[in-house]
Structure 1
Amino acid sequence: MDILLSNDDGFMAPGINRLREALAVAANVITVAPDQDCSGVSNSLTLRNPLRLTRQAENFYSVNGTPTDCVHLGLGLYADDPDMVISGINAGANMGDDVLYSGTVAAAMEGRFLGYPALAVSLAALGRGGAVSHYDSAVQAVLHLLGHVQNYPDRSSMILNINVPDLPWEQVRGFCVTRLGSRHRSEPVVRAQDPRGKEIFWIGPAGDAADAGEGTDFHAVQAGYVSITPIHADLTRHRALEDTAHWLEACHDAA
Structure 2
Amino acid sequence: MTIVLTNDDGIEAPGIAALQAALGTRPTVWVAPDRPLSGCSHQINRGGAIAIEQRSPERYAIGGTPADCTRVALSHLCPEAEFVLSGINAGGNLGSDIYVSGTVAAVREAALLRVPGIAISHYIQRNRVIDWVAATRLAAKVLERLLSEKLPAGAFWNVNLPHLAENDPDPEIVFCPTCTQPLPTDYVVENHQFRYVGEYGQRSRDPGADVDTCFSGKISISQIRLW
Question: What TM bracket, shorter-length normalisation?
Answer: 0.7 to 0.9
Q: Which amino acid aligns with 2:6?
A: S
Other structure's SS at 2:140 match: helix
Deviation of residue 52 (structure 1)? 0.5
Is 1:204 the counterpart of 2:196? The answer is: yes
Alignment of 1:79-98 (within 5 A): 80-98=79-97
Other structure's SS at 1:18 match: helix
Is 1:222 the counterpart of 2:221? The answer is: no
Q: Deviations over 1:150-174 (max 9, x none)?
A: 5424444441110001225852321
Other structure's SS at 1:116 match: coil
Q: Which residue of 2 aligns with 1:134?
A: 131
Structure-2 separation of matches of 1:47 and 1:190: 35
Q: Which residue of 1 aligns with 2:3?
A: 3
Other structure's SS at 1:44 match: coil
Query: Comparing 131-140 with 64-73, which one deviates more in the overlay?
Result: 131-140
Is 1:110 the counterpart of 2:102? The answer is: no
Alignment of 1:9-158 (within 5 A): 9-23=9-23, 25-75=24-74, 76-78=76-78, 80-127=79-126, 130-149=127-146, 151-158=148-155
Q: Which runs of 5+ in 1 are unaligned?
A: 193-198, 235-255
Q: Deviations over 1:59-96 (max 9, x none)?
A: 11111110000111112112x52121000000000011
Other structure's SS at 1:120 match: strand
Query: Comparing 181-190 with 137-146, which one deviates more in the overlay?
Result: 181-190
Deviation of residue 50 (structure 1)? 1.0
Contact 1:92 1:132 in 2 (8 A): no
Structure-2 separation of matches of 1:116 and 1:143: 21
Other structure's SS at 2:49 match: coil
Q: Which residue of 2 aligns with 1:171?
A: 169
Structure-1 separation of matches of 2:195 and 2:48: 26
Structure-2 separation of matches of 1:204 and 1:36: 25
Rg bigger for which structure? 1
C-alpha root-mean-square deviation of aligned residues, in Å? 2.4
> Runs (4+) of structure 1 moved beyond 4 Å?
189-192
Deviation of residue 185 (structure 1)? 4.3
Structure-2 separation of matches of 1:45 and 1:177: 30
Is 1:160 the counterpart of 2:157? The answer is: yes
Q: Deviations over 1:231-251 (max 9, x none)?
A: 1234xxxxxxxxxxxxxxxxx
Structure-2 separation of matches of 1:222 and 1:170: 14
Deviation of residue 191 (structure 1)? 5.6
TM-score by length of 1: 0.78
Other structure's SS at 2:19 match: helix
- Quick one: structure 1 residues 57 and 174, their matched pair in 2 at CA, closer, same or farther if it must change by over 3 Å? same
Structure-1 separation of matches of 2:140 and 2:121: 14
Q: Deviations over 1:42-62 (max 9, x none)?
A: 111011421101112231111
- Quick one: structure 1 residues 32 and 96, their matched pair in 2 at CA, closer, same or farther if it must change by over 3 Å? same
Q: Deviations over 1:190-220 (max 9, x none)?
A: 666xxxxxx8x6763566411242x111221
More relative contact order in 1 or in 2 (CA 8 Å, sep 6+)? 2
Contact 1:34 1:67 in 2 (8 A): yes
Structure-1 separation of matches of 2:212 and 2:117: 23
Deviation of residue 18 (structure 1)? 2.0
- Quick one: structure 1 residues 150 and 121, their matched pair in 2 at CA, closer, same or farther if it must change by over 3 Å? closer
Contact 1:189 1:204 in 2 (8 A): yes
Contact 1:124 1:132 in 2 (8 A): no
